[in-house]
Amino acid sequence: MQRKAINPSFLPAPTAAFNRAFEVDFGDMVWLSISGTASVGTECQTLHVGDFKKQVTQTYSNIKGILLEHGYAVEDVVKWRVYLKDITKYYDEFNACRDSFFAENGISREKVGASVCVEAKICREELLVEIEAEALRKK
Amino acid sequence: MQRKAINPSFLPAPTAAFNRAFEVDFGDMVWLSISGTASVGTECQTLHVGDFKKQVTQTYSNIKGILLEHGYAVEDVVKWRVYLKDITKYYDEFNACRDSFFAENGISREKVGASVCVEAKICREELLVEIEAEALRKK
Amino acid sequence: MQRKAINPSFLPAPTAAFNRAFEVDFGDMVWLSISGTASVGTECQTLHVGDFKKQVTQTYSNIKGILLEHGYAVEDVVKWRVYLKDITKYYDEFNACRDSFFAENGISREKVGASVCVEAKICREELLVEIEAEALRKK
């Protein structure tokens, strides 16, 4: 069993003690646990302040980037955990954005995995969504 | 490693891009990740508006239904994650309901698994509890 | 696949139906899922009311105690989930405490694992932080 910290090329490594993702290699398969990911850019600055839809799209783009850069496909994710800053306001819009993301990636619903979505405030006031993911694939 | 979307017979599949549960088959064992589950009925309508205890019972019943329909026992769950809309108001009552559920299913405490329970608002205003679960069993 | 409830010697077992941690033994490796853990003492009383930094330190100490007592090292944790009662107020301080904890245990950042941190109220009004963890190790 090998372990490896994963910090993608397009985001700075966290300044605090954690990694953007962490991989466990079981020999015949690998498991990637992706940290809470939000709408941030190459300098870790918040992108799309005030625009929920663009924040969701950016968040998925960051997660997809982590996955692809390390040999995973989006459909290798088996569990998604979503935190919305205001679930009353954004839940329907989130579902529309989520549907668009998977449709644009050619992933039909039965390949999306399991999910949970609840309301939670995120580490920066202006962040409206944060998503974590667990992926598994054969080597 | 095979993957399978799980949507039980007694609940409609989600209209958004996710599944009620998702199973990974490792050959000798299977892992079932159950999505956030709440007190909803066969038309996905909220059941037991305003009645916390009945919502918890219904939520556990839905999770148990998913487990049993796919060959799992309740004690195959190794981790429970519970979100209460108002933890100050409902935490003690939740524990009483949880104890009753496991007692009624003949499951002693040392078989219940690990758990986390925090406060979080859920996707519908009237939902008071949401539970996700991770189960593992030999094939 | 063997399962075992884990309740450490230095904390009382929960009075409700769950365990402080739960271990699954896969033969060549073991997985430990640690329940939501907070700043509580040997009688399950809250420790360090009103002192965020000491609560974080105590929480990590409790998790470390569970890990070490059952043959795990702190760096066997692959995913940390952190719930802060007030993320606006405490996020920076949490990161400083987290950094100190890993530094004091000689664990460099690339061994810390993945993490998520969101705001959530916890089961007791005076608890300011709760952390859950997933650990994996070879036997």
Residues B35-83 pLDDT 10s? 999 999 999 999 999 999 999 999 999 999 999 999 999 999 999 999 9
- Note the pLDDT tens digit of each residue in B9-26: 999 999 999 999 999 999
Cβ count near B71 (within 10 Å): 12
Structure tokens, C24: 């699954």
> Cβ of B53: how many Cβ atoms within 10 Å?
16
Q: Is A61 on the interface with C (CB under 8 A)?
A: no
Chain A CB within 8 Å of residue C22 CB: no
Query: CB-hemisphere CA count at 13 Å for C31?
Result: 19
Q: What is the pLDDT of residues A33-53, one digit of tens each?
A: 999 999 999 999 999 999 999
Cα C78 from Cα A45, distance rounded (Å): 26
Percent pLDDT > 70 in chain A is 100
Dig out the tokens for B98 from the structure.
Answer: 């949880």
**Of A19, A81, A121, Cβ closest to residue C109:** A19
Residue of C26, C20, C22, C19 whose CA lies nearest to C2: C26
Least CB–CB distance from B121: residue in A112, A115, A119:
A119
Q: What is the largest CA-CA distance in chain B?
A: 44
Interchain pair C130, B137: CB under 8 A: no
The model carries a pTM of 0.98
Positions in chain C short of pLDDT 50: none
- pLDDT tens per residue across span B81-128: 999 999 999 999 999 999 999 999 999 999 999 999 999 999 999 999
Residues 6+ apart with CB under 8 A from A89: none
For residues B62 and B48, what is the distance between their CA atoms, to the nearest angstrom? 14
Band of residue A65 on the pLDDT scale cut at 50, 70, 90 = very high
Per-chain mean pLDDT for chain A: 97
Q: Which residue of C has its CA nearest to B75?
A: C3
Q: What is the ipTM of this complex?
A: 0.97
pLDDT number for residue C118: 98
* Residues 6 or more apart whose Cβ sits within 8 Å of residue B44: B11, B12
Best B1, B15, B22, B28 residue to mutate vs chain A (most A CBs within 10 Å): B22
Which pLDDT value is given to residue A38? 98
A70 touches B at CB < 8 Å: no
Question: Under a CB-based contact definition with an 8 Å cutoff, are residues A35 and A132 in contact?
Answer: yes
Query: pLDDT tens for residues C20-45?
Result: 999 999 999 999 999 999 999 999 99
Taking the Cβ of residue A82 and every Cβ of chain C, the question of whether any pair is shorter than 8 Å is answered with no
Shortest CB distance from B102 goes to which of C3, C17, C121? C17
pLDDT of residue A125: 97
Show residues of chain B in contact with A78, CB under 8 Å: 3, 22, 24, 33
pLDDT tens for B107-116 read 999 999 999 9
